[in-house]
Amino acid sequence: MNRWNPCRRNVFMRRLRALGFAGPFSGSKHQFMTFANHRQTIPGNDEYSVPQLRMMIREVEGILDREITASEWNNLRGVGCLASGGNDEESDILMSRMQTQ
């Protein structure tokens, strides 16, 4: 069983593009991505905690009108959020930083 893991901002946007979203586009305070007539705000912080990620994914689920499981999210395009098992170089760097702190 997969679990939710913290996610980098650029990885979050890549995964939304894999789900069919377009963007990111510049808005007023935050960038956003679009799907049909819907808009998903992209917060400016570099990394999203699990609660923040789950909140944003619930919004995406409402836009797509379907559930996104942790397994599906972690396997989108094979890019890694922290500890997702991806072979992404960025994930390796982040994991090494976490281990030294």
Given a cut of 90, whether residue 85 has pLDDT beyond it is no
SS3 state at 79: coil
Q: Residue 1's pLDDT is what?
A: 58
77 contacts 39 by C-beta, under 8 angstroms: no
Residue 90 has pLDDT above 80, yes or no: no
**Model confidence pLDDT, tens digit, residues 71-84:** 999 888 744 444 44
CA distance 101 to 87: 22
Confidence of residue 63 (pLDDT cuts 50, 70, 90): very high
pTM of the predicted protein model: 0.74
Residue 93 has pLDDT above 70, yes or no: no
Smallest Cα–Cα separation from 87: which of 75, 100, 69, 98? 75
Contact call for residues 33 and 24 (beta carbons, < 8 A):
yes
Helix, strand, coil percentages in the chain from 3-state DSSP, rounded to 5: 45, 20, 35
Q: Which of 84, 67, 94, 57 is nearest to 3 (CA)?
A: 84
